[in-house]
Structure 1
């Protein structure tokens, strides 16, 4: 019996076991990410098997806790989704959709481009820019090299929201440049660009897209080149920050990735003074159990909505307060006590907090739904009971004629 052979097999088996134990359920061998940062993925709670979602972390190598409408799963996540069962056994793949770009003079040669509906099946399009018009170029940066080269345009209409993968493989002397924009004839609307290779190279990128919104994909030629190419696109549907829908653990989602417009580009802070804050129903905020929502804002840009509550927190039929206020529409994503903390940025400004259960009804201000210490620069805090899904309305309010900037914090306890 050859003992060294047995020993080698045993060592190999141990190595495989240890390697398997060290692999994350969200990371493939070699450390490759297996989830899209910012995307929400289906999951189940252990025991109850209640359906929920989990947020892919910024590094794409793991997830936040599985969360349902009632909050974080008490018993943790069910093994079936924690171990990637759904991803590892996705079922039969859809057959790729194959098309041709079209002959010279077809819609692909100019805006608004060749109409292209994007489903979840992979789409493969063979094209040739030889003889096509040169009427587009990328925005300043890498993709501006497309100026002078013939181009093709595709008007993409996603049938669902999710991550769009785009690959363009050039042939021969054709040096492809590819960019995506939200307005066909406006280069400033460019949201993605790929120009990293040379003749016969492969250009690729991914971008989150929203159902119902058109996007314009341009296959251009760097340095005046033209020729044949293969365009491959794949839409993987799923929720993400910026899709216009508030998903589990998101404080807000206004459908864009712009900072300080009322919702941060991470969908976690409610920074800014959007027009929705100027009256009822207010600036939308979702508060989830176990999570704190913060925001920066000001009462200065707004008028006066909550006029019936005086500086002593007394509710009257008379207009006791004429100061400007910033109104927030709060959706509790769990039942408990909502704690609101308001801190003036300027220590000389006196602000107060007022809350209502019906935005336009001053009589719906109940006990503990107002806070005013009466001192300029003082931190104001109020805590009152809320029910999951039943909205309440909070005003960051000036005292008398005061107005100014502040930070605000919401906690569902």
Structure 2
């Protein structure tokens, strides 16, 4: 099971474009042929398009305010003061200079381009990298109540029709949170004092071990907005237990939480700071017995807070397992950031005296495959090679020389909690010789397969790798002609 890391603010904000109001859809706007976005050469007067209207990204209240004929209103989208835009198509109806066309499922919209937030020129607007590779646009929202007709929800950064009342037990701003779970309420005296007390009383699990209990007598102060394909809320209005782990040294801590009763399901999440929801690392459902524990790297004194929350209106019975291993190069145990640890001080063998893999030596020692099926365990390998699709955990390397030419299907089937990353290279030591890489980002514990074109007599180097250190484990590797 993988820890779902929080998405960037851009993903959360872009999701807002897919919904207008509660369940409304954006209606198509008739745009005159040749009409571009702001600064474009077009300007024909089409129905709903004002040639003197406002440019993309400017404030608006109704569609007719905008040159592009479409206003993302504050009421429907939560973007303070509204946002002028237009429907677009990168080929048929591109945006004009100063705007970019952002696909949003069945439609696309022109958003103002930017290099930094100051380019957006409006309070509450943010210059956002929508792809994490430099494609930046101005997104709306808010960061102060004064920008909105009613209130600004600090948790979502959108304007809302009604602000949160911090002691009502209700979710007035409709963001899924309530009372002290809200950022809007986090600075009130009552919430500050209650949260501080709960954090100070967090159960210390730094020594490791197994901890069992129930959320029945826990606090009701915390929750988490868990981004994913859609943003979900964990723990709102439910009692929780809070745990604190403080690392005694550099190394790695493994954490697993399982339900002790089938009817007592729960969710759990981890923060680096107990009272700061912005330090959320991820949200995870209750583990099953075959799931690999989470592994988090540590420095001495690093602290993690673990929250176990009731779910579906019920308190949760749980078992929390915590174990820590110190990273000591030369002790024979591979831990944390070590790529290998053979227990000696020889610098030029497979594992250097700095616990780093000598790739040429690793490749020279690749196991030769003479059979179509073999078994292995990535936890017994090194942890120094990655591929284009991942592979942060343990790996084993195999060399296969086909007797005949043709396409081959190579499959690695994991056992237990192992999570496989499978890839092949034409030159073991050269990362740019990668032929193909496979790792399902949504499913762990499933077989991974790649198909490669083989030439008789030419070796193929096969890497059976792992998603991360905690998911290393046993597998079966098979090679067969492609069907």
Task: Note whether the superposition's TM-score is higher than 0.5.
Answer: no
TM-score normalized by structure 2? Answer: 0.26
Give the TM-score of the pair, scaled to structure 1.
Answer: 0.29
Q: Which has the higher contact order (CA 8 A, sep 6+)?
A: 1
